[in-house]
């Protein structure tokens, strides 16, 4: 009975929506109606508009004119062709062509409105993934790849893959991000040193370009589009399907956090471990900082050790946490203890401060979900997040550490959130992709993941980010920002450096009217 009622309600709403022309803002600033004849499932109710207007960053708020909830990829192509200057219908009369902005939105976990389309149309990619069900994730017969609807969250890719005993090889720390969203940036984490970012593990893509053309691309087929879109910040097309590389899935993980009071030993061990990509090396490597002027989270450690961990942090003011994981299953069980034993004997950590948990593979990959639940319960998830993510050349990491960590962070009266600090290998990245990295074999991923809870003002935290950037600038440390948001063209030109001309050329080729992902502020 309830189901029937719900269905009738949805039918009525859909009918109402389909009979009501939708008002959006054109690039020229005039009101444009989306004609009913386009047959698009657009939503303009306050809830849908508000949900599409902000993101995880909780700093920007940009209302779109409408949200497209597509049930097929052809609907997206139709919208984009119309956005390129189909006839607009101004209060009944047909006027010359107008263009308007369109942005794909995966999970909206951007930080500064990158998935917004002020006045234009936000394409809700979750709708497409839902419409594709049960074929949103299709594992190939031989288990070597998965064809995935781009609006699918990585956690659902993982679930579908492990059911078949396989798994993607490289992950972000948090899995409730869409495939299309992370492929538009890079998708980095603790497996990147071994397998590269997520963009290095894609065989093929279906993309609807800014002109509304549906194209399949791969390293061999339309390679300009393929490499452009990977890390392309949504500028060239909307990814609708991605073919993701898979490998055998392990079942369990030895997950360690190993504490260092000495930065040189921490750095030396991290860099040595990422150079070991054979069977005896680790499968995952990250690192983070525990500082006495911040919240010291000891929940990973056994209850009986939590007090001495907290004391170690207080005594040294800063402790470097090496985080490594080694996967195993029944076949690799014999070597797992050997690897852990070798780590405990050869690494230069603070004696007695190596802790190992043994957890299922799924739980390990999904570990940040627990943090999310904790923060949500404290009301600290939906707060402003002025995050700064940067890649620092390996050759300057000591200077960065001395200037930024010792000089700036430890001198704050308090710090907030998590600070990530780990190296990765550049040889796993393909320079033809759009993402920018420092020009060195080893570079560090630094994440100042600050959150402004309570009365704290996010601008104050942002000041710290500015100081970090300024310090690098003044010291000649050639960092590259990740998940960045620049508003000045010169900053984008500097960011892309030698790739800028190519980026611009692809924009003209695939999205000449500059309609896509305007929230990135690259071509506005
Ligand atoms: P959205 O925010 O929805 O979109 C991001 C950009 O991509 C927008 O410009 C949008 O228009 C465009 N876009 C979205 N979908 C498509 C598509 N199908 N085709 C073309 N363009 C598209 N990143 C990492 O690399 N590693 C991490 O470990 C990591 N951890 C994170 C943890 C948290 C809690 C959060 C909030 C973010 C994290 N990120 C991480 C950042 C994350 O990868 C990016 O913010 C990513 O864009 C989020 O995906 P999304 O689906 O929410 O994208």
Q: What is the mean pLDDT of residues 135-157?
A: 98
106 is in an annotated binding site: yes
| Average pLDDT estimate for 477-505 | 97
Express each pLDDT in 227-265 by its tens digit. Answer: 999 999 999 999 999 999 999 999 999 999 999 999 999
Q: What are phi and psi of 144, to 5 degrees?
A: -95, -15
239 annotated binding-site participant: yes
Per-residue model confidence (pLDDT) at position 97: 66
Does 482 carry a binding-site annotation? yes
Query: Is position 371 annotated as part of the catalytic site?
Result: no
- Among protein residues, the one whose CA lies closest to atom 35 of ligand 1: 109
Distance 55 CA to ligand 1 centre (A): 10
Closest CA to 424 of 319, 273, 296, 310: 273
Query: Within 13 Å of residue 413, how many CA atoms lie on the same side as its CB?
Result: 2
Which atom of ligand 1 has the smallest separation from the CA of 239? 19
Q: Which one is predicted more confidently, 496 or 10? A: 496
Contacts 24+ apart (CB under 8 A), 333-339: 335/279, 335/280, 336/254, 338/280, 339/254, 339/280, 339/282
Q: How far is the CA of 402 from the centre of ligand 1 (A)?
A: 31
Classify 42 as helix, strand or coil.
strand
Q: Taking CB atoms and a 6 Å cutoff, what residues make up the pocket around ligand 1?
A: 55-56, 103-110, 114-115, 125, 150, 172-174, 177-178, 180-182, 184-189, 233-234, 238-239, 483, 517, 519-520
Kindly state the average pLDDT of the residues 278-291: 94
Name all domains of the chain by residue range, CATH numbers in brackets. 129-249 (3.30.465.10), 252-481 (3.40.462.10)
pLDDT, averaged across the chain: 93
Proportion of the chain above pLDDT 70, given as a percent? 93
178 belongs to an annotated ligand binding site:
yes
Of 54, 109, 195, 401, catalytic: 109
* Residues 61 and 45 sit within 8 Å (Cβ to Cβ): no
Task: Give the C-alpha separation, 129 to 107, whole Å.
Answer: 12
Q: 320-336, pLDDT tens digit by residue?
A: 999 999 999 999 998 89
What pLDDT sits at residue 30?
Answer: 81
Q: Contact at 8 Å (CB) between 359 and 251? A: no
Provide mean pLDDT across the span 373-399: 95
pLDDT > 90? residue 116: yes
Window from 8-17, 20-29, 54-63 with minimum mean pLDDT: 8-17
User: Across residues 91-110, what is the average pLDDT?
Assistant: 80
Q: What is the pLDDT of residues 424-440, one digit of tens each?
A: 999 999 999 999 999 99
Residue 32's pLDDT band (cuts 50, 70, 90): confident
Distances, alpha carbon 183 to alpha carbons 103, 154, 225, 234, 486, in Å: 15, 11, 13, 9, 20
Over residues 40-56, the pLDDT tens digits come to: 999 999 999 999 999 99
Give the number of other CB atoms < 10 A from CB of residue 410. Answer: 16
Instruction: State the pTM of this model.
Output: 0.95
pLDDT at 11 over 60: no
271 belongs to the catalytic site: no
Question: What number of other Cβ atoms are within 10 A of residue 341's Cβ?
Answer: 10
């Amino acid at each position: 009975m309830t189901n029937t009622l719900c269905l009738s309600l949805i039918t009525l709403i859909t009918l109402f929506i389909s009979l009501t022309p939708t008002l959006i803002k054109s690039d020229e600033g005039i009101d444009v109606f989306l004609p009913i004849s386009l047959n698009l499932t657009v939503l303009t109710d306050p809830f849908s508009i508000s949900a599409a207007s902000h993101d995880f960053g909780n700093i920007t708020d940009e209302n779109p004119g409408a949200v497209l909830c597509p049930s097929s990829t052809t609907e997206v192509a139709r919208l984009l062709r119309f956005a390129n200057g189909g006839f607009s219908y101004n209060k009944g009369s047909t006027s010359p062509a107008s263009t308007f902005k369109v942005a794909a939105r995966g999970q909206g976990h951007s930080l500064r409105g990158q998935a917004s389309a002020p006045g234009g149309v936000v394409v809700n990619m979750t709708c497409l993934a839902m419409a594709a069900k049960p074929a949103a994730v299709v594992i190939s017969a031989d288990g070597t790849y998965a064809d995935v609807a781009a609006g699918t969250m990585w956690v659902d890719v993982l679930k579908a893959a492990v059911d078949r005993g396989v798994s993607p090889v490289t992950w972000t720390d948090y899995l409730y991000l869409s495939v299309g969203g992370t492929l538009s940036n890079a998708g980095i984490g603790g497996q990147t040193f071994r397998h590269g970012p997520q963009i290095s593990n894609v065989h093929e893509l279906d993309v609807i370009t800014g002109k509304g053309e549906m194209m399949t691309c791969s390293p061999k087929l339309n390679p300009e589009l393929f490499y452009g879109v990977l890390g392309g910040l949504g500028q060239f097309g909307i990814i609708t399907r991605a073919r993701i590389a898979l490998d055998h899935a392990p079942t369990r993980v030895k997950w360690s956090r190993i504490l260092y009071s000495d930065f040189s030993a921490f750095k030396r061990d991290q860099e040595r471990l990422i150079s070991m990509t054979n069977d005896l090396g680790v499968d995952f490597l990250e690192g983070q900082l525990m500082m006495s002027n911040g919240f010291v989270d000891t929940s990973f450690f056994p209850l009986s050790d939590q007090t001495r961990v907290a004391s170690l942090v207080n005594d040294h003011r800063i402790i470097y946490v090496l985080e490594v994981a080694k996967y195993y299953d029944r076949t690799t069980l014999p070597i797992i203890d050997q690897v852990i034993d070798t780590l405990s004997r050869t690494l230069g950590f603070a004696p007695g401060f190596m802790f190992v948990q043994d957890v299922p593979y799924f739980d390990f990959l999904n570990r940040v979900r627990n943090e999310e639940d904790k923060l949500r319960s404290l009301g600290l998830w939906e707060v402003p997040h002025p995050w700064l993510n940067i890649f620092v050349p390996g050759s300057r990491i000591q200077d960065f550490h001395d200037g930024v960590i010792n000089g700036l962070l430890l001198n704050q009266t308090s710090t907030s959130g998590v600070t990530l600090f780990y190296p990765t290998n550049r040889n796993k990245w393909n320079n033809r992709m759009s993402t920018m990295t420092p020009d060195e074999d080893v570079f560090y991923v630094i994440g100042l993941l600050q959150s402004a809870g309570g009365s704290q003002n996010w601008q104050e935290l942002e000041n710290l980010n500015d100081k970090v950037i300024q310090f690098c600038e003044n010291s000649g440390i050639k960092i590259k920002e990740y998940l960045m948001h620049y508003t000045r063209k010169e900053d984008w030109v500097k960011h892309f450096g030698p790739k800028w001309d190519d980026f611009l050329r692809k924009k003209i080729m695939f999205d000449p009217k500059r309609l896509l992902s305007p929230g990135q502020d690259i071509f506005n």
